[in-house]
């Protein structure tokens, strides 16, 4: 996967977002669709936006938590 690919959240490791302070509207959830903004060595920075273009969440996601959305 590369920068600006559209991806779908397929899993979330453990409960890593449970109890975390959320700066956007909410934490990521399985089924969410987002866009890769940055590619790191072991993760991707993914942004999920609503229909108005507002950020719903922006988080680092591991490779095993996302897959190509095929769009």
Write out pLDDT tens, residues 14-50.
888 877 666 778 889 999 999 999 999 999 999 999 9
What is the pTM (predicted TM-score) of this model?
Answer: 0.89
Class of residue 8 by CB neighbours under 10 A (exposed 0-12, middle 13-18, buried 19+): middle
pLDDT band, very low/low/confident/very high, at 57 (cuts 50, 70, 90): very high
């Amino acid at each position: 996967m590369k920068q600006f690919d559209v991806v779908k959240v397929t899993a979330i490791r453990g409960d890593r977002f449970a109890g975390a302070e959320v700066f956007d509207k909410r934490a990521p959830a399985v089924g969410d669709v987002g866009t890769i903004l940055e590619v790191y060595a072991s993760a991707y920075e993914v942004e999920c936006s609503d229909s108005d273009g507002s950020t719903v969440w922006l988080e680092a996601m591991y490779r095993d938590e996302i897959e190509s959305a095929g769009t």
